[in-house]
Structure formats: structure tokens, C-alpha cells
Amino acid sequence: MSIFKACDVRGRAGTELTAEVAEQLGRAIGTAIDGREVVVGGDLRLSTAALKEGLARGLASAGCRVLDVGVLPTPAFYFAKDRLGVQAGVMVTGSHNPPADNGFKITLGAWPITEQELGALKKLMEGGRYRSGMGHVEPRDLVASYQAAVLAPFSGRSRRRLVVDAGNGCYARIAPPVLRELGHEVIELFCEPDGRFPGRSPNPSVPAHLTALQETVRSSQAELGVAYDGDGDRAVFVDERGRVVESDRSIVLLARHLLRQRPGKVVYDLKCSSVVPEQVRRLGGEPIMERSGHAFIKTTLLREGAVLGGEISGHFFFGDIGRDDGLVATLTMLEALDEAGASLARLVDSVPRYPITPDIRIPCPADLAHEIVAELEAAFADAPDLAIHRLDGVRIDWPDGWALARPSVTEPLLTLRFEAHTEARLLEIQQQVIDRSAGLRALGWEATPPHG
């Protein structure tokens, strides 16, 4: 399987990703940017230091001046890149993936990297013809500057009891002091930096990984809990009743707050509930649907000048800083609670809820998965009162629900997802999809109930 994915480079450390591979990637990036300055940083995974060293060596051999900002969260890395005035950058991080994995988040210019640019880097590595130069590596430390910049726009009118679950990741020593600076009482959970992630999985988007946070919020009578992923660009909230807040509902709460300050556009990924665009329109905003993925949401946020962007995976992008940031998401959510004068549970319960399925992952050969997507697109193309979206696979929108079918780019799977205004309608839509797809019938798939 290729280490080059849709938005980044990822793989198993020590086998797919080695210091030698990192060096070759560095030489390819250095060639692509013609030996310009580049910022590099990394998370605290056990494999990151060697990969970052190899990467920096490759960049320097291509003539780059390499500014090494050390170990830090991904949002702080993007802040450092902007503060240093350097467009190109590489963050070595496995993000939310298991501890044995790692990866490279790459920026070549002012905009997120494209699939075409990643493809060009892959070809450079395969060809082995690189630029040669005499670059060097310089250390930089901008973590304190990042903390100060994050704090600056927020006043912290209310003092709250919070539980911070850093998951032993990059925010372990950064988020608690920032929140305490605003007067909050912070109860720390898994706030010891440890690249083995002994406390829980680095992925907070799976509710089963948050049981300790839920229990701690309830037992400590905290007003809010927040969990970050390994590199800090995802945040998942827990209300004072210990309930995990679905990220599309968090998008709505953040949009309510931000659109009152600055009417504008909100970008959301195509897996989100229809509640997101409905609520954004009610608030006078303009919702824009985009395919899932950091690079896709961020590019659309920047291109459209949007106020907010959000993914169901827990990424929240802010137009005023031009990036996603788990700590800024936390501070903004706390500000939203202050403005509303209500608890998180009360705000969450004020957001409508429709029956929605989880991702339904069906084992399926890649060619058949693509055939099923094409089959569904053709079957519903001329149906009245439907909208067909081809951002990623095919999404079919009825006035009261939708169906999404996407082939996996990394595994032999077809992923389905459905939502409707009622459970009965949800099952009807699923049956319509089955009836129109011989491929799905051949796989023996049957309609699936919603969450809960």
C-alpha cells in the first residue's frame, strides 16, 4: 500500500516509514520548493525524532534552510510557520492514528497540499533525481509565543471547572496552563506526555476511548470535558452530564456563536448531519459542503473566506487564524457558553437531532465498490426532487434525508452512511438504495438502524 494518501503521507513506522524514506522525502520536497526555507516540527511519538532527523537531512541536502521548531502540537506548528513567514513546512506526526504509525503533513506554499502535488513528490522519489545544495538546520522555539497568541483574543469571563484529556499527546503540557491562565479550574487526565499513549488511543473520535473522561467529568462535577488527539488538531467535547457531544453538533454550537459576531460562510464535511446546513441557514450564514479531509476543508475555508469549518472527525477550522486548532476550539466553545449563559448540555439539547447511521463499512473489492457508486449515481440521476453530489463517491440528497456511498482509498471497503428525519424514512431510503443497486444486493447488505 502506498504511503501517499489523499492529504498527506502516512504509514507504519519502522517498515513503511524509516529514516531513509524520510530523507528521500525531504530531498523530494527540497527539490519541489527549489531549496527555499522550510519549517519542520514533530509530535512526541517514539518514532518521530528519527523520522524528523532524516527529513531535515534530506531537506538540507537539497539546499534548504531548515527551521526546526521541535516537538509541538500541529496547530502550534502552523502558527510557527506563519510567525516565521515561511510557506513550506513539514510536520512529522501520526495524528490520531495508532502509536505504531506515523506520517508527514506537508505544505509547499500558502495553500494546503493537493493530491497532484503529492503525486509529483511520489514521482520525484521514484525517479531519484534531486536538487543538490548546502543547506543547514536551525532550531527555533515558538511554543510560548503560540500559547500567548492563542490566549490573546479570549477574556474568560466565567470561571469553570474543566477536565482536559490530552491523551498523553502534544497538548499535555500546553492546554492546561492556557486554560488556567483564564481562571479555569483544570482537572488533568492523561496529561503526561508519552509517545506510547498509555492512557487511551490517540483518536478521541471513537466514544469508547472517552469513558475515563466521561467518568471524570461526572465524578468531579465539571462543567465541560475536552479530549484532544495525539497532535492536537482534533477536539471532542463532553458535557456536564458526561455525554460525548457529536462533532456536527459542536459545529452548530460554534457556528451559532461565531455567526452572531460575523455573518458568513461555514464549511462542513459531507458526512455531517443535515442539521448543520439547516442551522447555519437559520443563523443567516451560508453552508458549504466539502469532502472529508484536512486539506479539502482548509482549502475551501481559505478560498471562500469562511468564518468556520468543521469535520465530523473533530477538526474545527477558524477563519480568523486560517487553520484548525483544538485549543482554540476549546476556548471558543467556552466563550459560546458565556455568551449563551447556558450549560453545554442545555445547548447541545437545543440542537435538533435526526436518525443517522454510523459509517457502515462493507468488505468489498475496490473495482466493485467503484461500480456500486457509479450504479447509484446513474440510478438516481434523473429522479425528481433529488440532489446528487460527487465530492467523494456519491451523496444522494432527498428533501428529508440522504445516502452516501464512498469507496475506501486505503482498504477494500465500501463505506455507506444514511440520515433521515425519521427512523422509518431512514429505513425507506436504505431500501431504495438497495433496490437500485445490484452490487449491494450481491454483497448481501441489509438496512441498518441509526445510532443508539
Among the options 61, 95, 250, 274, which is catalytic? 95
What percent of the chain lies above the pLDDT cut of 70? 100
Are 359 and 260 within 8 A, CB to CB? no
Q: In this structure, are residues 266 and 288 in contact, taking their beta carbons and an 8 Å threshold?
A: yes
Give the residue among 248, 259, 251, 201 at the shortest CA–CA distance from 227.
201
Catalytic residue among 10, 131, 256, 257: 10
Pair 191, 285 in one domain = no
Residue 448 lies in a domain: no
In a domain, 186, yes or no: yes
Do 168 and 132 share a domain, yes or no? no
Residues 285 and 222 in one domain: no
- Assess whether 125 and 46 both reside in one domain: yes
How many whole angstroms separate alpha carbon 4 and alpha carbon 115?
9
Q: Which of 239, 268, 295 is the last residue of a domain?
A: 239
Q: Which amino acid is at 387?
A: A
Which tens digits make up the pLDDT trace of 210-225?
999 999 999 999 999 9
| Residue that terminates a domain, selected from 208, 239, 270 | 239
Give a yes or no: residue 450 inside a domain. Answer: no
Rounded to whole angstroms, how far apart are CA atoms 291 and 269?
5
Is the pLDDT at 451 greater than 90? The verdict is no
* Catalytic annotation, pick one of 315, 395, 406, 417: 315
> Is 165 a member of any domain?
yes
What cell numbers appear for 336 in the block? 459560546
- Do residues 13 and 31 share a domain? yes
Residue 131 is among the residues annotated as catalytic for this protein: no
Does the annotation count 250 as an active-site position? Answer: no
| 42, 75 Cβ separation under 8 angstroms | no
pLDDT at 155: 87
Q: How far is CA 277 from the centre of its chain?
A: 19
| Structural domain total, the chain | 4
Known active-site residue 95: yes
Q: Could you tell me the CATH number of the domain that includes residue 177? A: 3.40.120.10
Same domain, 384 and 424: yes
Nearest to 31 by CA among 127, 99, 132, 116: 132
Nearest to 308 by CA among 268, 362, 281: 268
Can you give the pLDDT at residue 1?
47
Q: Which of the listed residues 239, 260, 291 is the one where a domain comes to its end? A: 239
What pTM was computed for the model?
0.96
Give which of 360, 354, 388 is closest to 374, Cα–Cα.
388
Same domain, 286 and 234: no
Question: According to the 3-state scheme, what is the secondary structure of 26-76?
Answer: HHHHHHHCCCCCEEEEECCCCCHHHHHHHHHHHHHHCCCEEEEEEECCHHH
In a domain, 1, yes or no: no
> 425 and 379 in one domain?
yes
For residue range 221-267, what is the model confidence (pLDDT) as tens digits? 999 999 999 999 999 999 999 999 999 999 999 999 999 999 999 99
312 occurs within a structural domain:
yes
Confidence at 327, pLDDT banded by 50, 70, 90: very high
Angle between helices 247-261 and 326-340 (to 10 degrees): 70
Domain contains 3: no
The pLDDT tens digits of the residues spanning 136-191 come to 999 999 999 999 999 999 987 899 999 999 999 999 999 999 999 999 999 999 99
Cα distances (angstroms) measured from residue 426 to each of 381, 422, 450 = 20, 6, 8
Cell numbers 455573518 correspond to 263
Integer Cα distance of 90 and 104 in angstroms: 6
Q: Can you give the pLDDT at residue 410?
A: 72
Which residue range is the domain that position 223 belongs to? 158-239
